[in-house]
Amino acid sequence: MDRDGTAGPDPAGHDDRGDERRHGHGPGNSRHDGPDRPGESTSSTVLQVNGSIHHLRLDHRTTLLDALREHLDLTGAKKGCDHGQCGACTVLVDGRRVNSCLVLAVACDGPVTTVEGLAEGGRPHPLQEAFVARDALQCGYCTPGQLCSAVALLAEAAAGHPSHVTPPRAARAGGPAELTRDEIRERMSGNLCRCGAYPHIVDAVTDAHRETVR
């Protein structure tokens, strides 16, 4: 619909769009309901990033990572491997961490949060403060992905999601996960750090976890 510029979505309604789309009904679904033209290789799309709405016309090949970096000048998310193996491109979509290099921008659902959107009210996110305090980086290239990943890690642990190293009995019981160092290492295993700052990253996540459960 908005592909033709005839019915631009109402920005005021955007907050609900992600949820509506997820459940398969509601006006938010109209984004790609326009005439499908097989053979066409671009679409108009709407991305909500760090609270701002962006209307973009994108080649279907554009990944969410490229849309952020090349179209929205949000260069926090980094292109490392571009194949979903390093985690440098990790962002949050609807609060869930994903590899933005493997998400097609036209298929992206829900609000996106990048490292640029973690701070609130001019104050860094507790994880950002912990990374600084613990010197949890060397070159810093993987850090935006590490931070977004760790934000989601704390939420997943609080929601009781088990991991590969969670003892079977605890996994069965559910409840908030106990974040031992082994748990943090396993849960951060999708983010590589070629400088090898892992021990300090684990320290920083441990500190931020203590902060959030206190």
Binding residues vs another protein (CB under 8 A): 21-25, 29, 31-33, 36-41, 43, 59-61, 63, 82-84, 87, 90, 96-99, 102-104, 106-107, 109, 149, 152-153, 156, 159-164, 166, 168, 171-172, 174, 185-187, 189-191
Between residues 37 and 214, which has the closer beta carbon with respect to another protein?
37
Q: Considering the complex, what minimum distance in angstroms separates the CB of residue 68 from another protein?
A: 15
Between residues 89 and 204, which has the closer beta carbon with respect to another protein?
89
**Whole-number Å distance between alpha carbons of 50 and 116:** 7
Q: Which one, of 96, 62, 94, lies nearest residue 190 by Cα? A: 96
Between residues 15 and 40, which has the closer beta carbon with respect to another protein?
40
Q: Considering the complex, what minimum distance in angstroms separates the CB of residue 176 from another protein?
A: 12
Q: Considering the complex, what minimum distance in angstroms separates the CB of residue 153 from another protein?
A: 7
**Whole-number Å distance between alpha carbons of 26 and 203:** 44
Residue 82 in contact with residue 114, Cβ under 8 Å? Answer: no
H/E element holding 171? Answer: helix 168-173
Phi, psi angle pair for 208, to nearest 5° = -65, -35
Q: What is the DSSP letter of 74?
A: -
Between residues 50 and 166, which has the closer beta carbon with respect to another protein?
166
Between residues 94 and 129, which has the closer beta carbon with respect to another protein?
94
List residues bridging with 99 in a β-sheet.
Answer: 90
- Find the distance separating the first CA and the last CA of the chain, reported in whole Å: 48
Q: Considering the complex, what minimum distance in angstroms separates the CB of residue 122 from another protein?
A: 29
Q: Considering the complex, what minimum distance in angstroms separates the CB of residue 20 from another protein?
A: 10
How many CA atoms lie within 13 Å of 53's alpha carbon, on the beta-carbon side?
14
